A and B are shown apart, each in its own frame.
Chain A
Amino acid sequence: MTHEDWSDDDSDETVDLRLWRKLLKYTLHYRRTAVTFCVVAFGMAASDLGFPIVTGKLIADVEANGADANIAFYGWAYGVLAVSLCANICAFILCAGKIRTHVSHDIRRDAFQRLQELSFSFYDTKPVGWLMARLTSDCNRLSNILAWGVMDLIWGSTLMAGISVVMVIYNWKLAIAVLSVVPVLFAVSVFFRKRILRTSRLVRKANSRLTGVYNEGIAGVRTTKVFVRQEQNLHDFDQLADNMQEHSVRNAILSAVYLPIVLTVSSVAIALALVLGGHEVVLGTLAIGEVVMFMYYAQLFFAPVQDLSAWFAELQMAQASAERVLSLVEAVPDVRDTDSVTLRLSEMGSDGHPDAIGRIEFQDVGFRYRTGPEIIGALNLVVESGQTIALVGATGGGKSTLVNLLCRFYEPTEGRIVIDGIDYTDRSLRWFQSHLGIVLQQPHLFSGTICENIRYGDLEATQQQIEDAARLAGAHEFISELEQGYETSVGEGGNQLSLGQKQLVSFARAVLKRPRLLVMDEATSSIDTETEQQIQAGLARVLTGRTSFVIAHRLSTIRAADRILVIEKGKIIEQGTHTELVRQGGHYHDLYTEQSMRDIVRIDNAMDSGAETLQ
């Protein structure tokens, strides 16, 4: 529902047919349906066209011949038309339904698959809500146009052309009279439809805001109570509700004005048919049946005009949707296999290098986001196979960027990263990333059971292996205390578990994978010291001979590393073992001292003196 918020930032623009031609390819994928679809649209228009003729002829026949009128013939003719129209309607809904559902399915599929390939640099610029809106409301909107819009276009224009031709053939003077109203009607329709569409978007937007506020009101009810914000919140809510009411009423009033005007304008055509036609009847040049036929046509003409103007307005409004969806489907990932790797993969099934990750080298690596400032600059680093590297330093210093580069979520903008002597961009991305294990501070779990979440690390794992991994990660204990154990559902986003529990489960997931390269980004922040030590012991066993990178605040975690890198402003300013760094008396030493208990003693003194001055 909140996705709606991201779908409304469109204004009406000129229709760019190039975009729609691309989208039409999705429809043409279902060639048979598309052809049937067109045939059916014509068939429907033709049947629609037939009714006034049968009606008019029947009336004229009765009028002229009285008891000798051939009622049975018209009965049959009417029956045939009715059956044909019903059959066409059935086929029409099935075809349009097929195109509508299948095209939106296909666009969504392409977009989703593309999203699985796109690099994080893409995700950095697009919030999840924005992406969701493309995959939900935009897909529906475009497929609606491609199915119902195209259908109405074919059917409507055929019908209008057909009616015009038939009327002109019967009586061109009456035809002109009836048709003279059409331009007015079209202009009025387009004018209103656009405004109605725009206000209805505003209503939807206001509505999704309102839903958001309810959500916030409920989720934040404790905060609201504790800060006694009820009045203020209700006041804010009322403003939004007023806004919603205002837009809704405006939207309804526009519709309330539009339909009567259309009806009145089209009644002019009916009246003209009656007056002019009636006059000709009096003169004896036209039958009453034919007057009825003209009035019937006059009425029949105006539904397609309304529909087409509605779609025309929608097409203009949906221009932005089409652009955004196509830009997503056609986006090219920044980080991808090079052409030569792709070639080797398709020819040999591998990238042609040994299946191992050993020595890792950063050679003059630099990185910046697009046009942003330099985040990492001229960084050199050699990590031998099996080493544990700890990264410390202030937030924003570039620790996370460094591991993102290591994992090839981004690629260096300068210099290169070399694994066992081979530039990692010359390796298969999929192969490389499938050997990574990553545990993040904000672990992401998928809705499903705990067991399913751990199994994500190795889809073929047995129950026993899953439990072993959980034990090593220190998660088994809390899991087995849960009523349903491993089958406990974690809820959407894992929200049924506490942060610490989520971290443990995501640890187990990484352990199960037995990655060649493990990255832990403040992965144990919400786990108590005792459990953390337990996990470290477990990891040490699993990860013998494997390389790992650890970002952490806790000293006990850092101390265990083979090498500690102090990172500041994108550079390694100190490195060495714990003891070496403490001896150096540099940044690490300061950082370390800051955290130790000595500081607390200082606080104690400060507090005591504070208390004294108060006394």
Chain B
Amino acid sequence: MRAQSTHFVATSFVIKLPVHGASNQSPARPKAGKLQKSAKRTLWELTAGQRVRYASAIGAMAVGTVFLLVVPYVLQRTLDTITTGQADWSDTLVPAGIAIVVAHALHGFFTYLRGRWAAEASEGLVRQLRHRLYEHLERLPCDYHDHVDTGDLVQRCSSDVETVRVFLAAQVVEIARVALFVAVAIPIMLSQNLKMTLVSSCVLPVLVLFAVMFFRKVRGAFKDVDEAEAKLTTVVQENLTGIRVVRAFGRQEFEIDKFLQRNGKFRDLEYRLFHIMARFWTLSDALVFLQVGLVLIGGAWFVIHGELTLGQWVLFFWLVRTIIWPVRHIGRVLADSSKATVAIGRIQDVLSEEPESEQDITDEPVRGAIAVRDLSFAYRDGQAALNKLSLTIEQGETIALLGSPGSGKTTLVNLLVRLYDYTEGTIHIGDSELRELRRDSVRDAFGMVLQDPFLYSRSVRDNVVVGKSSAADHEVEESARAADIHENIVEFQNGYDTLVGERGVTLSGGQRQRLAIARALLKQPEFLVLDDSLSAVDTKTEAQILRALASRRGKQTTILIAHRLSSTRLADRIFVLDHGRLVQQGTHDELVAADGPYGRLWAIQGTIEDEIERDLSGAADR
């Protein structure tokens, strides 16, 4: 068993324990005391459905423990029988040998049951937790997502859940195992000899205490290593993704220096961790040897003085050696298990956030004119986005929204699909107030291309059929053609089955936008919204897409947000926003004629256009 410890050293480093990064110190954390209490309750609620299995696991373990601790007892009986000279081959020795093997086998069987049930129970619980987290995250309002850091949230879902999993699957079980060991071993020892029991267990509490205190104290060192590793990873990642920039600026040496610094720092911190661990293993091993030595020497003394039989001596020796390694390990487990409380608290923070409200008052079809009246809206951080905005968009009309960044264009369309809830003013679609319509029906009626289109790391086809799951291949292709992306897709290695992202094809900004347009078109929605969705495509492609949109004119209400006047020109009406207000509206011709922001924009663009026209007509003349 001594040797077992070396293996622990190795594996404890191979499997590095998850330590949360800087997010642990997040100032937003609520008061610790209250949190811990609710964290424990959450943990308890979580175990619902698996409690029986969990309890069976611990029961199996208890039975198994008894069998393992029978072994020293068998040894004692056998050896004492031999000493007294009453032993013989078939009555004592062979049965003892069989007893040892059977005891181990039974112990093994129950250990297996424990392992299996504990794994099934804890994995089942964690599976449930993961499901809840994902479901909840999808339901949380945009308002929430705007204000959280994606990395932190992912960490809560992955490493915090992992911490809870380790706690449930291993730590709780390990703590119970050691407690059972001690609870069974002490009575066995007491039944033999009181004084020897004291000698055999006096170092054990010191050992546990030492380990707990030690790991509490050095927790920082583990965290430092994790942070250094994260920084190193960032440097490498940025270097590799930006390798063109590095080469173009001939900054290889600078990059290597930067890397070497981080690499060295990580190495040194990790090495320091080994120093700390060396101290721990050395000192705790010394305590272990002290305890075993006490049993040996103390036992010898008792035997000589006739207070103990030789068999009992071996019993104490064997028993102590069986329980001491798990006891030493438990200190670390105890220290680590406190992380579970923190982790569950962080998960609890997410789960207790309010999801998007779900009241469906009317179930009327979402269609008709959009009427916005006195609409005001401010984001959570207090930044006002819309200020008593009123406008009407007729059914089937194509309108363009224009305005400088921050004028409220995106906010308006986000409110239309109920990504945010407004409190001041009204929006009517047809005869219904938007707030009384089901969120999902509203969103179903809209085909929306977001400003920064998001693509799933799946195949191109999967990304398009997001718009309509039941779409046939020819429909997918049609909408891809309309978005002028079909030609690109068929050139990819696997055509529509090419994966998007690192494992497949990396799309340019323009291609992403066009793919997003294709999926919105596939939906054939009542309302189509393009939020600055043509900014990264060339003018030729832009014209092509606009032509495709034109063919659907009148069949759907279209809202275009754009900077280029070539896009806005073809709208039936143009709305110019500024600081959340409507400052101009009318047809292109009306607005060009009027004195206002649109006219000024037209003038800038127009100068260039004029020159181009001149060049062209000049060329045509010749």
Contacts and interface: CB of A to CB of B under 8 A. Distances in A.
A and B are interacting partners: yes
B270 A101 contact: yes
Interface in B422-470: 440, 443-444, 446, 448, 450, 453-454, 456-457, 466-467, 469
Contacts of B251: 456
Contact of A132 (B89, B145, B240): B240
> Quick one: which of A93, A264, A530 has the most chain B CB within 10 A?
A93
Interface in B126-156: 126-127, 130-131, 133-135, 137-140, 142, 145, 150, 153-154
Nearest to B99: A271
B250 A260 contact: no
Given A78-B297, A90-B278, A152-B10, A217 B252 contact: no
Contact of B612 (A101, A219, A444, A555): A555
Interface in A503-561: 506, 509, 513, 519, 525-526, 528-530, 553-556
Interface in B1-35: 1-4, 6-7, 9-10, 13-14
Interface in B64-123: 71, 75, 78-79, 82-83, 87-89, 92-94, 96-98, 100-101, 103-105, 107-109, 111-112, 114-116, 118-120, 123
B314 interface: yes
Contacts of B82: 278, 281-282, 288
Nearest to A407: B248
B107 A263 contact: yes
A211 B159 CA distance: 9
Given A66-B304, A71-B300, A610-B550, A132 B233 contact: yes
B214 interface: no
A220 B456 contact: yes
B267 A101 contact: yes
Contacts of A152: 6-7, 10
A299 B75 CA distance: 14
B307 interface: no
Chain A contact residues, majority secondary structure: helix
B551 A307 contact: no
A207 B300 contact: no
A1 B239 CA distance: 18
Given A101-B274, A112-B256, A85 B289 contact: yes
Contacts of A82: 286, 289-290, 293
Interface residues of B, number: 168
Contacts of A210: 130, 158
A411 to B, nearest CB: 14
Interface string B307-326: 00010011001000000000
A526 B508 CA distance: 13
Contacts of B234: 447, 492
Contacts of A226: 417, 419, 443, 446, 448, 450
A222 B127 contact: no
B218 interface: no
B150 A218 contact: yes
A221 B353 CA distance: 16
B554 interface: yes
Contact of A606 (B109, B247, B547): B547
Interface string B388-408: 000000000000000000000
B237 interface: yes
Contact of B238 (A86, A295, A493, A556): A493
Interface stretch (B181-189, B257-265, B590-598): B257-265
A386 interface: no
A132 B236 contact: yes
A556 B290 CA distance: 85
B63 to A, nearest CB: 13
A272 B158 CA distance: 48
Given A86-B285, A132-B240, A216-B457, A288 B310 contact: yes
A58 B296 contact: yes
Query: How big is chain A's contact interface, by range?
Result: 35 or more
Contacts of B236: 112, 132, 135-136
B529 to A, nearest CB: 9
Contacts of B150: 215, 218-219
Interface in A554-597: 554-556, 578-579, 582-583, 585, 589, 591-597
Given A79-B293, A255-B115, A105 B612 contact: no
Interface stretch (A20-28, A237-245, A360-368): A237-245
A529 B304 contact: no
B208 interface: no
B535 interface: yes
B271 A97 contact: yes
Given A499-B509, A530-B604, A59 B310 contact: yes
B584 to A, nearest CB: 19
A216 B456 contact: yes
A290 interface: no
Nearest to B270: A101
Nearest to A615: B554
Contacts of B79: 278, 288, 291-292
A322 interface: no
A459 B618 CA distance: 49
Most buried by A among B1, B96, B107, B538: B538
A136 to B, nearest CB: 6
Contact of B297 (A74, A115, A603): A74
Given A256-B111, A274-B97, A614-B554, A90 B250 contact: no
B243 interface: yes
B300 A62 contact: yes
Contacts of B83: 63, 288
Interface stretch (B359-367, B379-387, B563-571): B563-571
A556 B609 CA distance: 9
Contact of B97 (A259, A272, A396): A272
Interface in A78-133: 78-79, 82, 85-87, 89-90, 92-94, 96-98, 100-102, 104-105, 108-109, 112-113, 115-117, 120, 123, 127-129, 131-132
B472 interface: no
A98 B273 CA distance: 11
Given A116-B256, A430-B250, 7 more contacts: A89-B9, A214-B137, A279-B89, A307-B6, A441-B508, A583-B622, A597-B612
23 contacts: A58-B300, A74-B297, A78-B293, A78-B297, A93-B9, A93-B277, A112-B263, A127-B502, A210-B158, A218-B154, A221-B142, A225-B138, A245-B127, A278-B96, A282-B93, A288-B83, A430-B252, A444-B238, A499-B536, A506-B245, A525-B509, A595-B540, A611-B554
Query: Which A-B residue pairs are the 5 nearest by beta carbons?
Result: A97-B274, A256-B115, A260-B108, A434-B250, A252-B119
